Amino acid sequence: QCVQVCPTAALTEMYHTDKVWEAINDPDKYVIVQTAPAIRVALGELFGMEPGTRVTGKMVTALKRMGFDAVFDTNFAADLTIMEEASEFIYRLENNKTLPMLTSCCPAWIKFIEHQFPELLDVPSTSKSPHIMFGAIAKTYYAERNKIDPDNIVVVSIMPCIAKKAEAARPELTKDEHNHVDIVVTTRELGAMIKEAGIEFTKLPDSEFDHPLGETTGASVIFGTTGGVAEAAVRTAYEWITGDELKGEDVVFQQLRGATGLKDATVEMGDRKIRIGIASGLGNARKLLEEIREGKSKYDIIEIMACPGGCIGGGGQPFHHGNDEVIKKRQQGLYQEDGEKKVRKSHENKEIIELYKNYLGKPFGETAHRLLHTHYEERERI
């Protein structure tokens, strides 16, 4: 199913909503849905609400009424990503392995480096992106715990992103006995489905995500904005490296915040000074990657997001036509949610701690590697 996204029909967007309805209507399938951090501050715009309005509870209610068997938050898997990325960073730091380490949750920039900078493929973290990690856990840990045949589980990701559709189809993420993620739909597609179902979105009461893959932290919600993944990783790496606790508002690293395309910060962790670079937009990413290629990079960690502003400005979000104010309002919505959370560090998420204790073992250990890490491949230059 395609929809026209420009007046001349020169551009069309592949819609996968029919596949989702088909899965929901199949009595043999157990259909799990997960929603990315950036959706909650933008979905309301499709129903006349102000950009940045948090509609998390209404969104969960809508998904339950649409017939999904379980409704989870990709933020849970964002916390899982931080457990793996922070562990990998410390491993590289302490063993003189490749630095800087680049974050790997944006599939558009991963594809960009595979095509444009194939000599740097040891630089990105090997951690899979959060929604892919979620799919891996849903079809193993969750399936075993709930005695559901993973063959009957369908994982649907609601993403702000069109690139996530291609990511879910990458051969290395589909070659095992189960796809990690079966169907990806965007924020706009979710809006269309809610309307199709005749749900009056603005009048919905709030509901909570299901458990045990539903507990989340403030660190995970800021994944939706540029700088958020790095800030979340720094919160965990800081405490693990120094053994000191970040209390209250000390978890906020202002230098990593804001919507500018290139940001730079230094964070002291014990006797180490960790240099962090942030790029959003592929033009800015290219600058940081060229510095690495030329041996001139001063950074230890780099976060790259292909879309200006990060996922809040993703290609699957309600159209904002380059309006920076919309991006800033969505960003504020995420920062507010972080500020209101009781738990703001990924390694303090109780369901994540339980997952490692009961199933994964050590972060960056053998089982975690098998389920949560991947590799990258050189692709033809374009």
239 in active site: no
Closest to ligand SF4 by CB, 233 vs 241, is: 233
Closest to ligand SF4 by CB, 15 vs 240, is: 15
H helices of the chain, in order, are 17-24, 56-66, 74-94, 107-116, 130-137, 143-145, 163-168, 187-196, 218-221, 228-242, 282-293, 324-340, 350-355, 366-372
Which structure tokens are listed for 162?
Answer: 């069109």
Cis ω before 160 (30° cut-off from 0): no
291 in active site: no
Catalytic one among 58, 111, 128, 164? 164
- Alpha carbon distances (Å) from 232 to 74, 135, 239, 251, 342: 15, 21, 11, 9, 15
Closest to ligand SF4 by CB, 179 vs 226, is: 226
Closest to ligand SF4 by CB, 164 vs 347, is: 164
Closest to ligand SF4 by CB, 116 vs 140, is: 116
64 in active site: no
User: With contact defined as beta carbons under 8 Å apart, do 363 and 84 qualify?
Assistant: yes
Catalytic one among 45, 58, 87, 88? 88
196 in active site: no
User: With contact defined as beta carbons under 8 Å apart, do 236 and 246 qualify?
Assistant: no
Closest to ligand SF4 by CB, 184 vs 251, is: 184
Q: Are strands 70-73 and 30-35 parallel, antiparallel or unpaired?
A: parallel
**Three-state SS at 3:** strand
How does DSSP classify residue 51? T
Residues in touch with ligand SF4 (CB under 6 A): 106, 108, 160-161, 163-164, 305-307, 310-311, 314
**Three-state SS at 265:** strand
Catalytic one among 45, 85, 215, 231? 85
Task: Output the smallest distance, CB 292 to ligand SF4, in A.
Answer: 19
**The length of the chain, given as a count of residues:** 382
Closest to ligand SF4 by CB, 83 vs 304, is: 304
Query: Which residue sits closest to ligand SF4, CB atoms considered?
Result: 314
Task: Output the smallest distance, CB 35 to ligand SF4, in A.
Answer: 13
| Distance of alpha carbon 341 from alpha carbon 78, whole angstroms | 15
CA torsion, ordered 6, 9, 13, 17, to nearest 10 deg = 100
167 in active site: yes
Task: Output the smallest distance, CB 44 to ligand SF4, in A.
Answer: 18
With b for 16 or more beta-carbon neighbours within 10 A and e for fewer, the 130-156 pattern comes to: bbbbbbbbbbbbbbeeeebebeebbbb
Task: Output the smallest distance, CB 159 to ligand SF4, in A.
Answer: 7
Catalytic one among 87, 104, 125, 220? 125
Catalytic one among 84, 114, 167, 337? 167
Catalytic one among 128, 311, 337, 346? 311
Q: Give the residue from 51, 349, 363 showing the smallest Cα distance to 219.
A: 349
88 in active site: yes
164 in active site: yes
User: Any residues with CB less than 8 A from the CB of 74 and at least 6 apart, and which?
Assistant: 34, 35, 36, 37, 130, 131, 134, 157
294 in active site: no
Closest to ligand SF4 by CB, 90 vs 168, is: 168
| Distance of alpha carbon 253 from alpha carbon 232, whole angstroms | 9
Task: Output the smallest distance, CB 364 to ligand SF4, in A.
Answer: 23
Task: Output the smallest distance, CB 227 to ligand SF4, in A.
Answer: 12
Task: Output the smallest distance, CB 203 to ligand SF4, in A.
Answer: 29
Q: Are strands 153-159 and 272-280 parallel, antiparallel or unpaired?
A: unpaired
Supply the residues annotated as catalytic.
85, 88, 105, 125, 164, 167, 172, 311
